[in-house]
Amino acid sequence: MVRLLQSRKRVFWEALILTIVVFLFGLLIGIFYESTKSSDMNEYYVNSELSLMDIFALNSLLSINSQNCDVLTSSNLEFADKIYQEAVILEKYESVGKVTEHMEVVHKRYDVLRTFLWINTIKTSEKCEKDYSTVVYLYEYFSKDLTQKAKQNVWSKILSDLKQEQGGNILLIPIASDTNLSSLSALTAKFNITSYPVVIINEKHVISDLSSVQELERYLK
């Protein structure tokens, strides 16, 4: 009887120790993953920030030499594609784990970059002839409403399909509308937007009801 009790105690302690080891190992893996994820996104952001600064420098040159239009237009398109792909990566990171405060800050920093890009695209079109369409997608990042989230997922898929079909014919800029960016608020004030999501094409067409790629294509250049 004593031996049986001792055996059960030993099994209990062995199971407890194993559970603690597994828990700590999982915790360390989680910390390492979050650290790696944050490091990756910071590196992406720094590179994108440098690319945007380079575009601003090119834009400044337009006042000196108008022949830089082709280079600036190409740079805008390349940069838009770059941060769009990084937005997809960021979304994947957020989908597999809890959205931390740090990730929210990273997301907001990217929204600032995208807003800068939109402003720069508008300024470029005033100086250079544009042979592509600007498609800005405004959505709510912090929404907890499941219906709203489902709607935005559908819109994101439609816009992704549009980008795949149109390629360099469109400059797609997704921006969260609820991150309290003064520059974005000032930029969108003239469109009198009352609800989200919306798509703004070439600063002329505001689309608040969307169900297919074809609905967007008729507004493109």
Question: Which residue ranges make up each domain of the chain?
Answer: 1-131, 132-221
Type of residue found at 118: W
With bands split at pLDDT 50, 70 and 90, how would you rate the model's confidence at 27?
very low
Calpha distance 99→142 (Å, rounded): 10
pLDDT for residue 186 is more than 80: yes
Average pLDDT rounded to a whole number, residues 209-214 = 91
**What pLDDT score was predicted for residue 4?**
42
Calpha distance 149→39 (Å, rounded): 28
pLDDT for residue 200 is more than 60: yes
Q: Environment class of residue 3 by beta-carbon count within 10 Å: exposed (0-12), middle (13-18) or buried (19+)?
A: exposed
pLDDT for residue 84 is more than 90: no
Residue among 113, 177, 117 at smallest CA distance from 141: 177
Selected residue with higher pLDDT from 33 and 53:
53
What is the average pLDDT score of the chain? 75
Check if CATH label 1.20.58 holds for domain 1-131.
yes
**What pLDDT score was predicted for residue 14?**
52
**What pLDDT score was predicted for residue 77?**
82
> Does 1-131 match 132-221 in CATH topology?
no
Report domain 132-221's class. alpha beta
Q: Which structure tokens are listed for 69?
A: 């239009």
| pTM of the complete model | 0.71
Instruction: Based on DSSP, count helices (H) and strands (E) in the chain, helices before strands.
Output: 6, 4
The residues, any chain, with a CB within 8 Å of residue 124's CB and separated by 6 or more, are 59, 62, 69, 72, 73, 76, 130
Burial 56-79 (b: 16+ CB within 10 A, else e): eebbeebeeeeebbeebbebbbeb
Average pLDDT rounded to a whole number, residues 18-22 = 51
Element (H, E) at 200: strand 198-201
pLDDT for residue 179 is more than 80: yes
The residues, any chain, with a CB within 8 Å of residue 155's CB and separated by 6 or more, are 137, 139, 197, 199, 210
Calpha distance 106→41 (Å, rounded): 7
Strand partners, 206: 200
Average pLDDT rounded to a whole number, residues 3-29 = 48
DSSP-derived 3-state class of residue 152: helix
